[in-house]
Chains A and B, each alone.
Chain A
Amino acid sequence: MNTQMNVNEALPLDTFSQGVKDCIPTLLGYISIGIAFGVIAITSNLSILEIFLLSVLVYAGSAQFIFCGLYLAGAPFSVIIITTFIVNLRHFLMALTVAPYLTHYSALRNIGFGTLLTDETFGVAVTKLAKEKNLGGNWMDGLNLTAYFTWVASCTLGGIVGKWLPNAESWGLDFALVAMFAALLILNLVDVGKTKLIHYLKLIAVMALIMYGLLYFLPGHLAVLISTVIVATIGVVTEK
């Protein structure tokens, strides 16, 4: 793999290797969820080749889990594709948040940034944005490619593990994802200043109420999408 070593310590680092480094803390999340996915996919009658292809082509944790569930349930292909679309629609908002900082790169590189955008890389990128106010393309590539290869390898490994240990799920590994989102949320709340922090905490409380209400009649992934749109709007309106 191409790791450029750019020893330019005085500048904020836009190097591939710094992107790789900043990705490392999230790898445990990718590895554990990837392995869990592989194990579940095997029990859903997918072959190891199919697990590999799905993680290469779709590259989205929750959508891949839902894919398995629907496929096993014998859902029509149209339903599987539409559900995948809705589950991953939140990436549209994430891409829209990150993209304005990367417009000075070529269209092709921007397609690359978008193609490999996930919840986790988005979380790491906005955490960097909150601290440094800018994003570098080499850094993004280092982050994105490390996450991508780790995910594909972990899913495939999970498939192999699942062939040997059918009960490898439920070791607490599924909670890695929740823990990771919680940590990324906290990292986005530090250094924002007291007034802003209080505003954010109030919005999170509102978010809890709205999520609770929406979950009565919407599946979780739609509730996430709609409550985000509502609460971000409340945020703008109530901003002082």
Chain B
Amino acid sequence: MTTSLSMLLLMIGCAIVTWLPRVIPFMLVRNVKLPDVILKWLSYIPICILSALVLESLFHSEDNMVTLDWLNVLAFIPTLIVAIYTKSLFKTVIVGVLTMALIRFFI
């Protein structure tokens, strides 16, 4: 249960650079009214960011080659089906984790 001053400073440095991008937009929109085109652009951010995060995990890049990460793709199929049919975050996560555990167990 120890740490050092340099480690603490490193963590504080990381905390500051993480905190600023999270907070600045909240201060910005209080003082500036965003133009409609920006608001429209922002309305696409949820779908784009969420699909990018999912896709990132389905690809595998190594030695300048990008391929499908087959293990993740395999586990992703039942996960997606459950998400579409149940529309439940909880059930989707459970099925996803169990599928991945089973795949790792058998492969």
Instruction: List chain A positions with a Cβ less than 8 A from chain B.
Output: 24-26, 28-29, 32, 47-50, 53-54, 57-60, 63, 67, 71, 77, 80-82, 84-85, 88-97, 99-100, 102-103, 107, 110-111, 113-115, 117, 119, 122-123, 126, 130, 170-190, 200, 203-204, 207-208, 211-212, 215-216, 220-221, 223-224, 227-228, 231-233, 235-236, 239
Would you list 25 pairs from A and B whose C-beta atoms are within 8 A, ordered by A residue? Answer: A25-B89, A32-B97, A47-B1, A49-B3, A53-B3, A57-B12, A58-B11, A80-B13, A80-B14, A84-B18, A91-B18, A93-B45, A111-B27, A114-B26, A119-B49, A172-B100, A175-B100, A176-B97, A178-B96, A186-B80, A215-B61, A216-B61, A228-B49, A231-B52, A232-B48
Q: Is B17's beta carbon under 8 Å from chain A?
A: yes
A-B contact count (CB 8 A): 272
Q: Which residue of A lies closest to B4 (CB)?
A: A50
Interface size class on chain B is 35 or more
Neighbouring A residues of B104 by C-beta, 8 Å: 170-172
Asked whether, in the complex, the Cβ of B13 is within 8 Å of the Cβ of A26, the reply is: no
Given A178-B57, A211-B56: A114 and B25 interface contact (C-beta under 8 Å):
yes
Give A204 Cβ to nearest chain B Cβ, in Å.
5
Asked whether, in the complex, the Cβ of B26 is within 8 Å of the Cβ of A178, the reply is: no
Known: A53-B8, A182-B96. 14 other contacts (CB 8 A): A24-B90, A107-B30, A110-B26, A114-B23, A115-B22, A122-B46, A175-B79, A178-B75, A180-B92, A183-B89, A183-B92, A207-B51, A215-B56, A223-B52
Neighbouring A residues of B3 by C-beta, 8 Å: 47, 49-50, 53
Given A99-B29, A171-B101: A57 and B11 interface contact (C-beta under 8 Å):
yes
Give A216 Cβ to nearest chain B Cβ, in Å.
6
Q: Which of B1, B14, B27 is A57 in contact with, Cβ under 8 Å?
A: B14
Neighbouring B residues of A90 by C-beta, 8 Å: 49
| Complex-state Cα separation, A215 to B59, whole angstroms | 8
Q: Is B5's beta carbon under 8 Å from chain A?
A: no
Give B17 Cβ to nearest chain A Cβ, in Å.
4
Give B41 Cβ to nearest chain A Cβ, in Å.
5
Q: Which residue of A lies closest to B103 (CB)?
A: A172
Asked whether, in the complex, the Cβ of B14 is within 8 Å of the Cβ of A67, the reply is: yes
Asked whether, in the complex, the Cβ of A182 is within 8 Å of the Cβ of B83, the reply is: yes
Asked whether, in the complex, the Cβ of B55 is within 8 Å of the Cβ of A211, the reply is: yes
| Complex-state Cα separation, A48 to B22, whole angstroms | 26
Give A240 Cβ to nearest chain B Cβ, in Å.
12
Given A50-B7, A89-B21, A183-B92: A96 and B29 interface contact (C-beta under 8 Å):
yes
Given A28-B94, A47-B1, A233-B41: A185 and B50 interface contact (C-beta under 8 Å):
yes
| Complex-state Cα separation, A100 to B31, whole angstroms | 11
Neighbouring A residues of B98 by C-beta, 8 Å: 172
| Complex-state Cα separation, A123 to B46, whole angstroms | 7
Given A84-B14, A182-B80, A211-B55: A100 and B34 interface contact (C-beta under 8 Å):
yes
Asked whether, in the complex, the Cβ of B30 is within 8 Å of the Cβ of A110, the reply is: yes
Asked whether, in the complex, the Cβ of B50 is within 8 Å of the Cβ of A188, the reply is: yes
Neighbouring B residues of A57 by C-beta, 8 Å: 11-12, 14-15
